[in-house]
Amino acid sequence: MPELPEVENVRRNLESMVVGRTIASVDVRLPRIIRTPDDTVRFAAELAGCTIQSVSRRGKYLLFSVPPYTLVSHLRMEGQYLWVAADEPVAPHTHVIFHFDDHTELRYRDVRQFGTMDLIEPGQPLPKGLLALGPEPFSEDLDHDGLYRRVHRRTASIKAVLLDQAVLAGLGNIYVDEALFRAGIHPARPAHQLTRAEAQTLVKAIREVLTEAIEAGGSSIRTYVDGYGRHGGFQIRLNVYGRQGQPCQTCGSEIVKLRIAGRGTHVCPLCQPKSRRHEAVRERAGKGEVSVP
C-alpha cells in the first residue's frame, strides 16, 4: 500500500502535471470507485468545465481542489495516477479517466480496485476516515513529547499503535518497521512502556526515514510508480523491511520476520531488544561480555 512518501511523491507529480488544467469530461469505467456522489453520471457532470487549482495531501489521502469542489482520492493498495497524451493506449485496469481540454488525460488505474474517490461539495463534510486522522509526522503538534502523550496510555504494541492513523497520519507497514529499527525499539513492545526519551528518539527516526524516502521517490516494493510511471528508489536502502534471513547492516545479526498487529514485521533481535532485560544483554554483548541468544 502506498504510504506517506509514495503519496507525497504522487502529489508533487500531480501538482506539476495537472494544476491549471481544465477538465473537459470524465469517463468512469468502474462505478464503485466513486463513493460520493453515488451517481457517477452526476460525478462526471459536476467536474466537467472545472479547473484543478491545487493538489494537497493529508495522511495517505490526495485532495484535489477543483472549485467549487474538493475531490478526495485514496489510492488504497495499488491505485495509480498517470498523466498521458489522449491518444496513448489505455492500459488494463484503468477505471477513471479525466479528459482535459488540451488533449491530455489523467488516468486512474487500480488492479485491486480498492481505491476510492469522493467529490465533496461546499459545506459537505469530508470522508470520515480523513476527519479521523491524527497529526502529520512533520506537524508542530508532534513536539518533543507529543508522540509520548499519544501513546503512553495504550497497551497495544507500539507497532499496532503507529499503524493507527488516528494516532499518526500516513505511516504504514514499511516505514513503521524502518523507524522502529532506527529508534532501536522492538515492535512488540507495549506502547505504554515507552519512555519520553524513547518517544522523542522515535519521532526523530520517523521524520528521518520519511524524509529520506520522499527524496528517493518512495519505495517500489510491488507495483508503486509515481505520476510519470517511475519507480521509487528507497527500497534499496531499507534496513529491515523485506530483508528476513539477511544480516543486519548494523550488527550482522539475522533479520527475522514476525507477525505483530496482524502484519508481517521485520526486526533485528540485537538492535531492537524486546525488553529491558534484553537491552541490558545487548549492551553487554556490545562490550564483548556475553553472546545474545
Instruction: Match 545474545 to its residue by C-alpha cell.
Output: 292
Is 60 one of the catalytic residues? yes
The three cell numbers of residue 284 are 553487554
Is 2 one of the catalytic residues? yes
Is 212 one of the catalytic residues? no
How far is the CA of 197 from the CAs of 9, 92, 201, 212, 268, in angstroms?
Answer: 31, 50, 6, 23, 21
Residues linked to residue 264 through DSSP beta bridges, in sequence order:
259
Catalytic pick from 76, 204, 263, 274?
263
Catalytic pick from 2, 5, 137, 273?
2
The three cell numbers of residue 291 are 553472546
Catalytic pick from 8, 11, 46, 60?
60
Catalytic pick from 3, 6, 8, 78?
3
Task: Give me the DSSP letters along the chain.
Answer: ---HHHHHHHHHHHHHHHTTPBEEEEEESSGGGEEESS-HHHHHHHHTT-B--EEEEETTEEEEEETTEEEEEE-TTT-EEEEEETTSPPPTTEEEEEEETTSEEEEEE-SS---EEEEEPTTPPPPHHHHT----TTSTTS-TTHHHHHHTT--SBHHHHHH-TTTSTT--HHHHHHHHHHHT--TTSBGGG--HHHHHHHHHHHHHHHHHHHHTT---SSS---TTSPPPSGGGG-SSTT-TTSBPTTT-PBPEEEEETTEEEEE-TTTS-SSHHHHHHHHHHHTTS----
> Which residues are part of the catalytic machinery?
2-3, 60, 263
